[in-house]
Structure 1
Amino acid sequence: MEQQETTEGVLTGHGVRGVKSAARTVEVLEVLAARGNEPVTVRELCEAMGAPRSSMYALLRTLTDLGWVRSDSTHSLYSIGIRALLAGTTYLDTDPLLQVVHPHVEQVSKRLEETVHYGRLDRTDMVYLATHQSTAYERTRNRVGRRLPAYSTSLGKAVLAHFDDAELEAHLPPSLTALTPHTIISRAALKEDLAATRERGYSIDDEENTPGLRCFGVALPIRSGVTDALSCSVPIERLTPEHEKEIIEALRSTADITLQIVRGLGGLVS
Structure 2
Amino acid sequence: MAVLESFSIDDTALTLAEIVRRTGIPKGTMHRILADMVAVRLLDRTETGYRLGGYLFELGMRASVERSLLEVAIPFLEELNARIHETVHLGVLDGTDVVYLTKIGGRRQASAPSRIGGRMPVHCTAIGKVLLAHADPVLRDQVLAGPLSRYTPRTTILPGPLRKQLDRIAAEGVGYEYEESAPGLVCVAAPVRDADEVVAAISVAGPSHRFHPVAHAAAVRAAADGIGITLTRRARMLAAPSFRGEFG
Class of the TM-score when normalised by the shorter of the 2 chains: 0.7 to 0.9
Tell me the equivalent position of 2:171: 199
TM-fit CA distance, 1:232: 0.8
Aligned-residue RMSD, C-alpha? 3.3
Contact 1:124 1:172 in 2 (8 A): no
Gaps of 5+ in 1: 1-24
Aligned pair partner of 1:250 in 192, 199, 219: 219
- Give % identity: 28
Aligned pair partner of 1:208 in 153, 176, 180: 180
Distance 1:94 1:184, change over 3 A: closer
Distance 1:78 1:158, change over 3 A: same
Q: Deviations over 1:118-151 (max 9, x none)?
A: 111222322222322211x244596432222222
Tell me the equivalent position of 2:231: 262
Q: Distance in 1 between matches of 2:45 and 2:62?
A: 24
Contact 2:152 2:180 in 1 (8 A): yes
Contact 1:154 1:231 in 2 (8 A): yes
Q: Distance in 2 between matches of 1:173 and 1:83?
A: 39
Distance 1:78 1:118, change over 3 A: same
Q: Distance in 1 between matches of 2:142 and 2:29?
A: 31
Aligned pair partner of 1:59 in 22, 33, 37: 33
Alignment of 1:213-224 (within 5 A): 213-222=185-194
TM-fit CA distance, 1:251: 1.1
Q: Distance in 1 between matches of 2:66 and 2:198?
A: 20
Is 2:43 aligned against 1:69? Answer: yes
Which is further off, 167-176 or 256-265?
167-176
TM-fit CA distance, 1:158: 0.6
Gaps of 5+ in 2: 240-248
Q: Deviations over 1:62-107 (max 9, x none)?
A: 2123221234547xx4432222233334548972222111101110
Contact 1:96 1:268 in 2 (8 A): no
2:131 maps to a residue whose letter is V
TM-fit CA distance, 1:187: 4.2
1:202 maps to a residue whose letter is V
Q: Distance in 2 between matches of 1:48 and 1:225?
A: 38
Tell me the equivalent position of 1:10: none
